[in-house]
Structure 1
């Protein structure tokens, strides 16, 4: 098994149909800012719905709190030109993700270039788009919804041959999960500091199981945040440019802080979007 907790053992299928961790599409070169091109002016003139939506998003950003539910803007039935203009205006930021909801619907998430603004596309079992939204939130509501149905108890069989430290780790995780309350600081277990055998890591992954949420953040490196099958237990892995794990952890918390927009992010994003609105849409 490859180093790190949340890498599938050879021959095992993921519980969710998603690209395996460690296999990501190459990053494309940044496109020229569409709004600065000559062809944008005519589209902006045609897309009045987008011009009306932007100040509403700005207003939501100016009042949003990081610990409060987000605000949704339904763009499902907007004309294609409006959707394209919204896509170009908001851009694509560093965080992407997917959440599998209990009703069989999948939520694909893409953060905008401004933090705290998300594009949420809902698809059914057949892959058909059934909802398209802009959400202002610290983390999309679909993430919390998907995780809310996960169990808070952990059961396991006896330790396998070759195990070293997996049983104490599981006892620590189970205790933290049982006593976790909303707002508690994250409890972090760093595998880089523990002697864990391959048997330990395989048994730990099999015991915790696969959860319904996966988030990937790209900045100076890559951070992959994966929900396990136990509520409030997350695998958080940091990779270098060679896609090698440099920090492998479990976090017991509501949502890992690295995936959440902070309070000041909303205000900064509001100011940036306001500038865009005034420069191009007025």
Structure 2
């Protein structure tokens, strides 16, 4: 299934045009694992601490928060407004860009951009400024940023209206009935229910009716971990379109998940511990 955002005259749908993190930081480029170490290795620890004292104080706090975070706990937010431009730039080098990125449409028509760092479970969140105001930019430690979790709960409808089947429909009506039943039964923290369209015969009329019934949601996420994965919230609460893609961006596994945010875009308990250890190695090597 494929849902997305469009811009329609007289509609509340939103057309997404989101610039990447750091687009307004001239000359900067995104770094990952090896690039982070290469950037830091060109400067001595003493120089880094002297030029970026507030960042040097911030990093141990991030490591400590990662070490105690658990997937089921609420995220921990870390403000960045105390950092100057040099410190923000170095922080961007250290964080790099991890596997998961995406956007969240907010009720006031602003857009939040989220990017997981190379330290799984440590996210950077940027929200468009309103009326020319500076963007809100902060870090968050958790399974998934709170702004995405809240949008998935608050924006979509709690129920769906199942209309008459379209001409030529095969299986869409029992699928919609199953989705509706699972929506009502789902409880936070419970395992997701998966409907696999790769194994279930659904013709174009089925898919068109399914898409029209579920509608568009406020969240688009993309994971480039062990194989690419596209995760889109629908307009029905707890209902997600999850597609696993090949190298040509062609879906090889097309599913609906009814539940909390899919595991493909969530950090797990072991991720936090691993990230704390790896961030600790950078702190000890370049800031101790």
Q: Which moved more, 1:234-243 or 1:158-167?
A: 158-167
Q: Secondary structure at the match of 1:192?
A: coil
Mapped pair 1:239 → 2:245: yes
Q: Secondary structure at the match of 2:173?
A: helix
Give 1:39 shift: 8.5
Question: Within 5 A, what are the aligned runs for 1:56-205?
Answer: 56-124=61-129, 129-149=134-154, 150-205=156-211
Give 1:29 shift: 9.0
Q: Which moved more, 1:116-125 or 1:138-147?
A: 116-125
Q: Secondary structure at the match of 2:255?
A: strand
Q: Which moved more, 1:168-177 or 1:42-51?
A: 42-51
User: Which residue is equivalent to 1:249?
Assistant: 255
Give 1:7 shift: 5.1
Distance 1:227 1:166 in 2: 19
Q: Which moved more, 1:101-110 or 1:28-37?
A: 28-37
Question: Within 5 A, what are the aligned runs for 1:4-23?
Answer: 5-6=1-2, 15-18=13-16
User: Which residue is equivalent to 1:279?
Assistant: 285
Distance 1:146 1:229, change over 3 A: same
Distance 1:47 1:29 in 2: 19
- Alpha-carbon displacement from aligned partner over 1:248-278 (angstroms, at most 9, x marks no partner): 0000011111111111111111010011001
Structure 1 unaligned residues grouped into runs of 5+: 21-27
Give 1:247 shift: 0.2
Give 1:44 shift: 4.6
Distance 1:19 1:104 in 2: 12
Structure 2 unaligned residues grouped into runs of 5+: 19-29
Distance 1:167 1:69 in 2: 37
Whether contact under 8 Å (1:233, 1:251) holds in the other structure is yes
Whether contact under 8 Å (2:215, 2:235) holds in the other structure is yes
Distance 1:19 1:107, change over 3 A: closer
Distance 1:61 1:153 in 2: 36
Distance 1:104 1:268, change over 3 A: same
Distance 1:140 1:249 in 2: 23
Q: Secondary structure at the match of 1:193?
A: coil
Distance 1:196 1:58, change over 3 A: same
Give 1:124 shift: 3.8
User: Which residue is equivalent to 2:228?
Assistant: 222
Whether contact under 8 Å (1:159, 1:167) holds in the other structure is yes
Whether contact under 8 Å (2:232, 2:240) holds in the other structure is yes
- Alpha-carbon displacement from aligned partner over 1:54-90 (angstroms, at most 9, x marks no partner): 0010110111111011111111352111111110011
Say what the alpha-carbon RMSD is for the aligned residues: 2.5
- Alpha-carbon displacement from aligned partner over 1:157-184 (angstroms, at most 9, x marks no partner): 2111121111110000001001111122
